[in-house]
Amino acid sequence: MRPLLLHLDHFGSFREPVTVDFSDTEYFALVGPTGAGKSTIIDAICFALYGTVPRWGRENSIAHALAPSVAAGKVAMVFDSNGRRFGVARSMVRDAKGAVRTKEARLDELDPAAPLEQAFDAVVKPLAEGENVTPEAQRVTGLEYRFFTQCVVLPQGRFAEFLHAAPRERQDLLVQLLDADVYERIRQSAAREEEAAKQAASFARDQLTKLSGATAEAERELAERLEALRRLAETIGADLDLLRAREGDIRRAEQELAAMAERRSLLSSLRMPAAVPTLASARRAAAEAVEALTGEVATLEADDHEAYEALAALGDRGAPRAALAALDARERLAADAARARAEATTAAASLRDLAGAREAADEAMAAAEAQRERLRDAHAAAHLVPRLAVGEPCPVCRHPVSELPRHEPPADIRAADRVLAGTRERAERARAAHARAETSASMLTAQAARAEAELAALPAPGDRAELEGRLAAIAKAEELATQARRALRAARGKLDEARAGAERTERQAESAWRELEAARDRLLVSGQQDDPPPLLDRRDLHQAWTELLGWRDRAAQAARAELAAREEQLAQAGARLTADRRRLTERLAQHGVVAPGDASPDQLGAAVAGTVARADSALERLKEERKRAADLELQISEKEHEAKVAHELALRLRANAFERWLCAEALAVLVASASDTLRELSDGQYELALGDKTGDIEVIDYGEAGLRRSARTLSGGETFQAALALALALSGAVARGLDSIFLDEGFGTLDPATLDTVATTLERLAAGQDRLIGVVTHVPALAERVPVRFEVRRDGKGSHVRKAAIAP
């Protein structure tokens, strides 16, 4: 895995978007003061791939990805791995409770031909999203998270401990770094495989026990039985044909017997209808009744015609009724006119009386009015006298008053007013009564005149007695006509009933003839041709039935005798069939063929065929079981061998000596590889070797004629070279094809000479291997010797990074 482009946006101490370009860099240094954010850039590489950072503690912890005041952030990286280009991006958010979580994650394969600044837009194929990004990143890089943190970000101080550690401590460290506990898992897996193999062998033995009957002898016996059954199936054809012939004879005998029983039943069921003996006399009586009633109806029809002609001759009763009604109306008008005239005369007399009363009332009213006027004048004069003066003109006559008049006090004028009002009221009543009487008299006179006029306009009246006589004659004629019609209807009803009775009798006769003919036809079809039923004489129904019943009795006696003979023949045929079937079933039973005692030939043949098929199937199953038994025996042998091998492997891996041997072998390989690297780094002065007795790592100093001494005697710079050589050897063993190494180690404690040795070592490492090497340091003397520097600084707005000029 080789990073090309890294983008940080609000990640860790970087509060502003930052892009770091590694594409044209082989050896670089992240420089800056302590706390500037140098290690955060290495953290971002790890976070982009695996979603977490080693120095945050737990693998799934991302709380430190965002600063406390930041709500969201993002990390994205373009990298090459195994000749392909990929892009990975993760974005984080802080929720309402302050917890940091991953909002989005994705991993895509990118087009390597696209410009690097446009790489994220050149997606060739999406590979993973969300939780699937980390497993997919491990797959495309070939590095699990724990190997990445051991091999890409090298813990240099830890490898110095490895260099100086005691053998037991070194073994524990190798087990941890080389994941040697995989052999314990192998041992456990071997133990499980041993147990599984034992169980499989035990199960196979159980299965083999169930197949104990699958022997060669059993197969031979079953084959012989199958062959015998096949010969039996080939030879029983004639026996089955004989049984089928027997059954055919029985079926035909049963059919003939059934036909005879049916004919006997037909003969027994033949009965003369109950009405046949009296049907001839009934037909004659019905014909005579119809004839008599026909004559009676004809006579009554003549009487009916005569009665209605007499009624028509008398004419309609409307004219005499109208004449009588006119006579009654004339008499009513005469009475009305007389009554109206009398009432008019009475009204005229009353009118005269009312006229006198009206005149008297008018006179009394006039007198009362005159009296009222006189009182009024008297009161006016009495009222004027006090205003008169002698010599003054009179206001009435305009003459001078010579003497004042003297007047008696006049009567009360109100009493005159009351009298006048009473006379006026009586006069009004008298005039009203006179007017009403006058109107009534006029109306009565008019009524009398109209009645007299209507009476005069009526035709001359007829004779009442003569009119009533005509109506009585018409009523009598109608009664006679009604009686004649009623009698005619009754006679016709009786005639219809007689005819219906005659028709019923005829239908009964026809039905009896049809029943007789049908019975003869059935008997003719079912009977013997040498003794057919007698021919029918259509002249006498009763005689025809009698002759047929006589023939029936003779035929029934013959049928009973023949039926008994047929039953005897059928019993004999059944006995022969039973005997033949019993012999065949006994023969089949000798070969193990089971069939019911009453089985048909087809059922017997099917039983034989089924037994042959079952024997054949049983033989095939036995062959399969023998093959299965052989397979189980082989499987038992194989599983027992597998269990033995797994047991031996688990037993050997269980011993502590294996772990020591494994770590010793791994350490020897690592020391040999590190020795080659150290010889190159030290210009051939130093090599590494394992002490023969102590097992410690020793240094071979060719500057001292190949002197072997303890690695603890090396100087600081020499120790760094040896530890780095071991670290590179170990990282090469853990992950082949590693394209990047980042050293995040404190170099500030090294003296100038050691620091120079370290710088020279790193320069040789960068020049001699095709790897991206990154150093995190705040030591200027080391940084100045690195060709590419990324200067990291931090201010109040966060961390910033700048790519410095390439060192000469």
Question: What is the strand order of the sheet 123-129 is part of?
Answer: 18-21, 2-9, 72-81, 84-94, 100-110, 123-129
Confidence of residue 106 (pLDDT cuts 50, 70, 90): very high
- For residue 390, report the phi and psi dihedrals to the nearest 5 degrees: -60, 130
Closest among 761, 793, 751, 615 to 221, alpha carbons compared: 615
Could you report the per-residue pLDDT of 166-182, keeping only the tens digit for each?
A: 776 666 656 655 555 66
- What DSSP element (H or E) covers 222? helix 216-235
pLDDT at position 69 is: 81
Two structure tokens written together for 642: 């597998």
Q: Is the pLDDT of residue 157 over 70?
A: no
Summarize the confidence of residues 125-132 as an average pLDDT: 94
Kindly tell me if the per-residue pLDDT of 184 is higher than 60: yes
Regarding beta strands 84-94 and 72-81, do their DSSP bridges make them parallel or antiparallel, or are they unpaired? Answer: antiparallel
* Higher-confidence position of 440 and 63: 440
Q: When comparing pLDDT for 631 and 142, which is higher?
A: 631
CB 591 within 8 A of CB 232: yes
Q: Which helix (H) or strand (E) holds 79?
A: strand 72-81
Higher pLDDT, 381 or 799: 799
Q: What is the DSSP letter of 402?
A: S
Q: Which residue has the higher pLDDT, 440 or 523?
A: 440
Q: What percent of the chain has pLDDT over 90?
A: 13
Sheet with 788-795, strands from edge to edge, namely 153-154, 740-743, 772-777, 27-31, 788-795, 798-803
For the CA atoms of 428, 429, 430, 433, what is the dihedral angle to 10 degrees?
120
Average pLDDT score over residue span 157-167:
62
pLDDT over threshold 90, residue 348:
no
Confidence at residue 112, expressed as pLDDT on a 0 to 100 scale: 93
The whole-angstrom separation of Cα 132 and Cα 155 is 28
**Which residues partner with 14 through β-bridges?**
11
Q: What number of residues does the chain have?
A: 808
Write down the pLDDT at residue 169.
66
32-36, 145-149, 224-228, 370-374 — which is least confidently predicted?
A: 145-149
Q: Give the CA-trace dihedral at 110, 111, 115, 121, to 10 degrees.
A: -50
Judged by average pLDDT, the poorest of 580-594, 769-783, 790-804 is 580-594
Whether the model clears a pTM of 0.95, i.e. scores above it, the answer is no
Residue pair 512/279 in contact by the 8 Å Cβ criterion: yes
Which two three-digit tokens encode residue 602?
């087809």
Which residues fall within 8 angstroms of residue 50, CB to CB, at 6 or more apart?
59, 134, 137, 138, 145, 148
Instruction: Please write the tens of the pLDDT for every residue from 564-592.
Output: 777 777 787 778 777 777 777 777 777 78
